[in-house]
Structure 1
Amino acid sequence: MKSEPVITTATATAIVTALIALLVALGLPISDELQVAILGVVAALAPLAVILSRGKVVPSANVVESVKGTTVIAGEASELATGTPVREAGDLYDDYTDPEAETSHEQTHRADG
């Protein structure tokens, strides 16, 4: 699951099946019909959950940077080794000056002056 961080329909069904088996083993009276109905609902809803959540995640192989604590670290898509500290987390533009903006500002003042 390295490149697919979303739970799959098969995984969801397997988890629910295991939970039903556990509840039956603990003595909860779940009929065969109810077990089939529960698994049917899971089989119908799990793909929807996967579809909705897939758009909210990025496969690990496409991650350039991520934040761990207060440090930005290199991801799998970075030129750096995965996990290499890159910088402290915060605004990318802290202490940044755009050289083109400075040049444009200086030229404007010279023309006025």
Structure 2
Amino acid sequence: MGSDRDVILRRWASRIRTADREAYVGYIEKTGIADYLETAGNLGCQMLMRDLGDGLTEVTTLSWWSSMDAIRAFAGEDVEVARYYPEDDEYLLEKPEKVEHHDVVAEALGLLPETR
């Protein structure tokens, strides 16, 4: 992760009660998604949900960043540690300590700068 062409994907996942799905989406749009989009160097984000069929829903957030410095501006100095909000305890059934970072090396979403 060092060239000017880097795009970094930050991935976080947890579980919520399926009954909380709609409320959680609204909450995340006002907190995490808003904070992603307000941070310089954020290239976009998505929140994914997958009902597990047992009253639980898996939630995954994906955010794309121009650099590790941009991620630090959002997450703090230790970029591997997940960022949480006070109200998260109302929704999240687990709070993983760490997130994942991946180099985006091929894509078809228009995130990577042209290589010409």
Q: Which TM class, normalised by the smaller chain length?
A: under 0.3
Structure with the greater relative contact order (CA < 8 A, sep ≥ 6): 1 or 2?
2
* Richer in helix (by share): 1
TM-score (norm. length: structure 2): 0.24
* Larger-Rg structure: 1
TM-score (norm. length: structure 1): 0.25
